[in-house]
Structure 1
Amino acid sequence: CRTPLAFTARLLPHGARRTAHRGNVPRSSVRTVVMASTSTTTLVTPKWVKDNLADIHVVDASWHMPALKRSAVDEFKAKRIPGAKFFDIDGVSDGANPAPHMLPSTQGMRAALHALGLNDDKAVVLYDNDGMFSVARAWWMFRVFGRDNVFVLDGGAPAYEAAGFTMELDGDVAAVDASAQACQDAMKGEKGSDFRGEREFLVKSMDDVIKNIDASTFQVVDARGQARFRGEAAEPRAGVRSGHIPGSRNVFFGDLLNSNKTFKTKDEIRAIFVSNGVDLSGDKPIVCSCGTGVTACILALALDTIGNPNAAVYDGSWSEYGADEGAPIAVGEA
């Protein structure tokens, strides 16, 4: 069983792990991990959540593709895990950026967490209504901005209900726009986001990705479906070209999930990455990309579950890259 201190060390960048002894880990960091030490992995089960409801923060991080015409807010108001709060990945973002849900500034993220009462030492469990979709983005955001004791309910709300546990229905709920409003208020007057947050090694920019085409210092893994990756299908966003970043690999995020939207086994996940040409040895860092920075985080979370916790995400992803006429693109197989 992983010790609390070892769990802290697992979250540090490779070069910093040697400093993760008790003299170098902040007191609060040790305490938060100890409080959540009943789970030794990022993914938690419905039973774990149910058994620990009194001692954790539960957060609904649902977001749906606009074409689906679903309202995550309305769904939250109608039904949620007891005591859950709502975190809006679209609202907690850099509103000055034309791309959707790009990372906010550090001040914006801190304000959002404070508005939800998440500024204490309690562990946070995130979930969504799809099972495994936008919740991965929220998990990555929390990590970027320095929050360690954050877990993800594998299979989300559907798994919680399927396990026979009671959902909270209708009634009064905390202000669902609290996180978004606090973030936007905190970012008023800012000219743009200092989006790298406290762990900039988890975030890559378009400039980083373009430089890497020749330098090849890290692997880029694209979570989009094969047709979009190969340039055989049109992109859903207007003005975005089809294709992929030269040199990138393709691992469709859906291949990592079971039919009930829980993650496949660790061995299956490893095999999927390796069969698509991804080096999991740790010798070459991994950067995940997708359409708008959501499903890339599913890849990052999958990598975390198999012992590769420091995969970065290209925040702008293809919606930014493909819209830049000057950026080189490739089509066809990886």
Structure 2
Amino acid sequence: MKGIWKKITFGAAAIALAAGLGACAESDQAEGESNSSSGYPEKPIEVIVPAGAGGDTDLNTRIMAKAMEDELGKPLVVTNVTGAGGTTGTQKVKDAKPDGYTVLAFHNSMLLNKIYGLADYTYSDLKVAGVGVLDQSNTFVVSKDSKFKNVEEMIDYAKENPKKVTVATEVGSMTYMQILQIQEETGVEFNIVDVGGASDKITALLGGRVDIVPTSLGLVQGYLESGDFVALGVMAEERLEDAPDIPTFQEQGVDLVVDKVFLWAFPADTPDEIVATFTEAMSKAVESKEYQEEIKKSWLNPTYLNPEEASKKLSEVEAEYQELHELTEGQ
């Protein structure tokens, strides 16, 4: 009887010991997983920019990436992935492993790609991390010897001479949408010419092949300062603090306000805690003196929007674009 009792006691002790070791192992594993998540990032983060090097998307992203490196403690490596109006790059992020080491940096064109059928997804199919800058410096520029000195002169001439004013764009892009908005608002008809991306449009204006180029002030700052280009107005509610001499379109009778929203987003299944870490770093970066000084050199507005605010802003812009597309379809 005593022998049987000893065996039972020994067996129970062994089971208890095994259970304790198992619990410790599970605890250690859980702690390891927690530490792995809280230790993000542990390696460089690849930033996909669906645009060429040297444009405003690329430059704005690099400024933000540099500021965020100080907060995250790891490099943010910018990779330019061009093609198909930005869809090649956005698709790359959408299909990437959702581990926090591939992030998208893009803007309103992602919304247009869905509207124009270039993609079957939009920003809401990713996990938005936030916005670090709003570009309110969208403008129409002309050469120094242009017949137009302001928006009013441009509109008056275009009304009297339908399709005689040549405007450069990239069909399906933000600038294309701006042209359609002005036509819808004023009743003018431009001669819309697809010349390619930002640098192509500038080259076309320098060569006298077009009359007007829609762009951002920061991209043509050198030409404006040299006097080679003239900005007819900015599509903002108020004159820009760093460009007070350039009137708004609204002041000149055209009710047009355009915000270019530079968003950052991860693959949809990226863990919330990783996105939260990234978002917090973005918030701190935007508040830093260095970032604000650098981004303002391009006449941009350093504005932080958290994921919820960013998604709301993008939803509003998307609704405006969809309505305009339906009104102007076939133009």
Do both proteins adopt the same fold according to a TM-score greater than 0.5, normalized to the shorter chain?
no
Which has the higher Rg, Structure 1 or Structure 2?
2
Q: TM-score, normalised by structure 1?
A: 0.28
Give the structure with the higher percent strand: 2
Q: TM-score, normalised by structure 2?
A: 0.28
Choose between structure 1 and 2 for higher RCO, CA contacts under 8 A separated by at least 6 residues.
2
